[in-house]
Amino acid sequence: MPRISPVGGEAERMTGVMKSVRRRFGLPEGFLALAGTEFWERFALAGVKSMLTLVLIDHVVGRADVFGSGAAERALEGWFGPLSAAGFASQIYGMANALLYLSVPLGGLLGDRVAGPRGAVYLGGGAMVAGLLLMPTRLFFLPGLILFATGAGTLKGNLSTVVGTLFNDDAARRRGFACYLGVLNAGVICGPFVCGALAVVGGWRWSMMAAAVAVSIGLAGYHLAARRIAVAAPAKRSPAPSPADARDPAGAGDLARVVAALLAVFLCFGAYEQIGNMFLVWARTQVALEAFGWRLPVPWLLSLDGLFTLALVPLTQIGLKALARRGLALGALGQIALGCAACALGNLVLAASATIGTGAVPIVAPLAYLLLIDVAIVLVWPAGLSLVTASAPARFTGLWVGIFYLHGFFANLWVGFGGAFYERMAPAQFWALHALLAAAGAGVALAAAGAGAWVRRSPPRHGRRRGRIPRRAAPR
């Protein structure tokens, strides 16, 4: 009998584990490789976002040695009036993130019509690495930020397009995107944790270099798995929905309902995206982050955001399946409406904490906020993206995925514009305004579904129990 080397045996065991995970969650071949690339992209993106506003305030705003800073400040003050350092940083943060999401449909069109999804992934990742290498120079921080944001948008949309083509069933696609959300949020956890720690130990420049290394690892892994992914992906998506989703108005491809659902997603993310901007500024000044003589680094709050999301992905799937077994199955619009309501409630927690008491806010308030808005994302994001990838014309899937990702573009425009009012409004009013934004999203989703239609009623699955004859099959 031939001997198996330890390395070969370990590789075989890892392959077996990967296959077991795919079978357990019903994931197609190539899914985990794509999700791994997205993990490293989100590692870099979340790590940079967790520090961007603070780095802008401390090292970029008001400095003559930063290319383009003076011109940008004069232009923004010409549009919005005098801005403080925090207000200017908020505008740059919002515009950079808006540029990222605006690049998604443009990058999707590039992948659809010019370079192909694979080539567009390489172009986007290369632009991200180049931008991250420019930012530590400080002289070219802003041009590097533009390059990084553009590349991230190009890479993000084309990866999501390929993931959508791996599934032929709408319900399986929705579950797949929920798992995809879990993997990418592992990157959201690790990015701020590593980059925040490096900033404390060696300074913010080391954080940018770590993000560049992360993107390079993701591109290398994608390159190694590209042939397997190309073979695994079907040539065309099946437009036929699953029997369960055939009763779902959004899954049926009603364009008006799809547009309304996307509007609800946009409103929800407008409230959510403040987490990387004024929420961190508010937490640094208003929340008691010290415990046992140690202060929690502010960027680590975004790691907790990713950790909560990762934990909530399986929990929400279990809850949705339990509802379906009892005859109450949420369709895409139902998930979006429920998620918007959770986001509104999370912002109301911050508004209430700013109203009650005069001292430092206990850390339980931001933790409750993070938990609620992460429930929102776990419900809203997979439902919206699954709806779009199932309904988009095959020749322009990347473009339509990009239109979905425009929720980030409009949300971050609002984040930058609305964040400038943080110092002009009472904190309770500021967070109540964002709660109203998310509540409007819930209202749009409910109105689109119609009264009572957002909860799809199906017969309970009692007939599958052993020894019991389904009522519809019982003899008369």
DSSP 268-289: HHHHHGGGGTHHHHHHHHHB--
Cα–Cα dist 170/124, whole Å: 28
Cα–Cα dist 270/418, whole Å: 10
Cα–Cα dist 95/35, whole Å: 27
DSSP states of 383-404 as a string? HHHHHHHHHS-GGGHHHHHHHH
Q: In the prediction, which pLDDT does 276 show?
A: 77
Q: In the prediction, which pLDDT does 439 show?
A: 93
Structure tokens at 235: 């040539």
> Using one digit for the tens of pLDDT, what is the confidence trace for 421-440?
777 788 888 889 999 999 99
Q: Other C-beta atoms within 10 Å of 423: how many?
A: 14
Q: In the prediction, which pLDDT does 354 show?
A: 77
Cα–Cα dist 276/415, whole Å: 9
Distances (CA, A) of 57 to 60, 88, 427, 468: 6, 8, 20, 67
> Using one digit for the tens of pLDDT, what is the confidence trace for 134-192?
988 878 888 889 999 999 888 887 887 777 777 776 667 777 787 787 787 788 778 88
Question: Which three-class secondary structure state does DSSP give residue 357?
Answer: coil
Q: In the prediction, which pLDDT does 352 show?
A: 87
In 3D space, the residue among 136, 154, 159 whose CA is nearest the CA of residue 31 turns out to be 159
Question: Which three-class secondary structure state does DSSP give residue 328?
Answer: strand
> Does the pTM exceed 0.85?
no
Structure tokens at 265: 């997603």
Question: Which three-class secondary structure state does DSSP give residue 291?
Answer: strand
Question: Which three-class secondary structure state does DSSP give residue 227?
Answer: helix
- Is the sign of the CA dihedral 319, 325, 328, 331 positive or negative? positive
Domains of the chain: 27-458 (1.20.1250.20)
Low-confidence ranges of the chain (pLDDT < 70): 1-26, 28, 77, 80-81, 83, 169-171, 225-255, 291-293, 357-359, 390-398, 451-476
Greatest alpha-carbon span in the chain? 87
Q: In the prediction, which pLDDT does 128 show?
A: 92
DSSP states of 128-189 as a string? HHHHHHHGGGSTTHHHHHHHHHHHHHHHHHHHHHHHHHT-SSHHHHHHHHHHHHHHHHHHHH
Q: In the prediction, which pLDDT does 476 show?
A: 40
Q: In the prediction, which pLDDT does 9 show?
A: 47
